[in-house]
Amino acid sequence: AQSVTQLGSHVSVSEGALVLLRCNYSSSVPPYLFWYVQYPNQGLQLLLKYTSAATLVKGINGFEAEFKKSETSFHLTKPSAHMSDAAEYFCAVTDSGAGSYQLTFGKGTKLSVIP
Amino acid sequence: ETGVTQSPTHLIKTRGQQVTLRCSSQSGHNTVSWYQQALGQGPQFIFQYYREEENGRGNFPPRFSGLQFPNYSSELNVNALELDDSALYLCASGGEETQYFGPGTRLLVL
């Protein structure tokens, strides 16, 4: 069974500071990994995805994530936080080639950006 | 803009009632999935439909059922509503490498 652990339910950073949101996964087969962002009262927007190509993945809004198989991690980073980055972020995993595209999500990390 | 729309946006029901939520997904995406997101939690997979057949189900009871239609639209039906069914219900279309989510329907059960 797959699982996703997001360390820190709430992260606060100052505007302009580095953003680091942690995600560790468990999967018995090579995974596909995703980061989604959710703004208040909205659905999920895809930030970036890893699907077994380059291990360093660049996404929208200046975010990137690195797949580290040895650490079973897929941490999300952004060099400089903007006020507009304040939202909830979800890491998700699915089994590659499983036929059913079920996403297993972490519990989310709420990012606050302090002016 | 993901091309996935859901209706209604909000809904209030009472315990024991039945509800139908609707989703319209992008043309060409023949897979649709439904997720339940309780307050303060990550989304939980309910089930998935591929070419109008159920193709995977999460840990949800049979009173959660669905349909997918040839025009890529989909329905989620929930019978005998319980208070714990209060949540944001998300529809997603796409495939293995990318799933696009709609804005969700917020259901409140009183």
Q: What is the pLDDT of residue A74?
A: 96
Per-residue pLDDT tens digits for A8-42 = 999 999 999 999 999 999 887 778 899 999 998 88
Asked whether residue B10 carries a pLDDT value surpassing 90, the answer given is: yes
Q: What 3-state DSSP class applies to A85?
A: helix
Rounded Cα gap, residues A84 and A90, in angstroms:
17
Residue B29: C-alpha distances to residues A114, B20, B52 (Å): 40, 22, 12
Q: Is A42 close to B103, i.e. CB distance below 8 A?
A: yes
Nearest chain B Cα to A108, which residue?
B42
Q: With bands split at pLDDT 50, 70 and 90, how would you rate the model's confidence at A53?
A: confident
Q: What is the pLDDT of residue B94?
A: 84
Per-residue pLDDT tens digits for A63-95 = 999 999 899 999 999 999 999 999 999 999 987
Q: What is the pLDDT of residue A81?
A: 97
Least Cα distance to A31 among A90, A88, A89, A104 occurs for A104
Asked whether residue A46 carries a pLDDT value surpassing 70, the answer given is: yes
Mean pLDDT for B19-46 is 90
**Residue with token string 């349909």:** B67
DSSP string, chain B: --S-EEE-SEEEE-TT--EEEEEE--TT--EEEEEEE-TTS--EEEEEEETTEEEEE-S--TTEEEEE-TTSEEEEEE-S--GGG-EEEEEEEE-SS-EEE---EEEEE-
The number of residues in chain B equals 110
Chain B residues with CB-CB distance to A under 8 A?
2, 4, 6, 31, 33, 35, 40-45, 48, 55-56, 58, 90, 92, 94-104, 106
Give B64 or A42, the one with higher predicted confidence: B64
Asked whether residue B49 carries a pLDDT value surpassing 80, the answer given is: yes
